[in-house]
């Protein structure tokens, strides 16, 4: 049986710790567990980064909207991917709070109360 590099590392660790039976039977299971718990796919890391980025942008937009700074608001919106910004705001229920509805970048959802 050919092992992946991660499985090989798990196997070597089990041997070092004097668990040869564990190493022989469950290197693959141990590697899968370690990978699932400690290694996040690049897509997950990017999604977390994007979510944090758009959360910060929406906070800044809400402050600009609160102080009627429409020009700066629009300039900030134009630096972002508008579809991603709107999607993130919809997911978090912040279309109105962020000012995206107020300045016409998004429409109020049917049945949404403000």
Side-chain half-sphere of 97: how many Cα atoms within 13 Å? 13
Give the burial class of 5: count Cβ atoms within 10 A of its Cβ; 0-12 exposed, 13-18 middle, 19 or more buried. Answer: exposed
Supply the pTM of this predicted model: 0.59
48 and 87 both lie in a single domain: yes
Q: Is 108 within the bounds of a domain?
A: no
Kindly state the helix (H) or strand (E) to which residue 43 belongs, with its residue range.
helix 42-66
Q: Residue 22: its pLDDT value, please?
A: 53
Pair (33, 19) in one structural domain: yes
Quick check: is 99 in a domain?
no
Q: What is the mean pLDDT of each run of 10 residues along the chain (114 residues)?
A: 65 66 54 59 73 89 91 91 92 91 86 50
Residue 103 domain-assigned (yes or no): no
How many structural domains compose the chain?
A: 2
Angle between the N-to-C axes of helices 5-16 and 20-38, in degrees from 0 to 180, rounded to the nearest 10: 130
Q: Which pLDDT score is estimated for 114?
A: 47
Whether 50 and 83 share a structural domain: yes
Q: Could you list the residue range(s) of the whole structural domain that residue 84 is in?
A: 43-91
């Amino acid at each position: 049986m050919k092992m992946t590099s991660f499985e090989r590392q798990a196997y070597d660790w089990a041997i070092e710790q004097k668990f040869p039976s564990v190493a022989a039977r469950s290197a693959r299971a141990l590697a899968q567990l370690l990978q699932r718990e400690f290694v996040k796919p690049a897509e997950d890391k990017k999604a977390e980064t994007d979510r944090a980025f758009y959360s910060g942008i929406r906070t800044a937009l809400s402050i600009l909207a609160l102080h009627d700074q429409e020009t700066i608001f629009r300039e900030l919106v134009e630096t972002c991917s508008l579809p991603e910004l709107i999607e993130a705001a919809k997911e978090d229920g912040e279309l109105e709070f962020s000012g995206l509805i107020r300045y016409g970048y998004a429409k109020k959802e049917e049945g949404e109360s403000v």
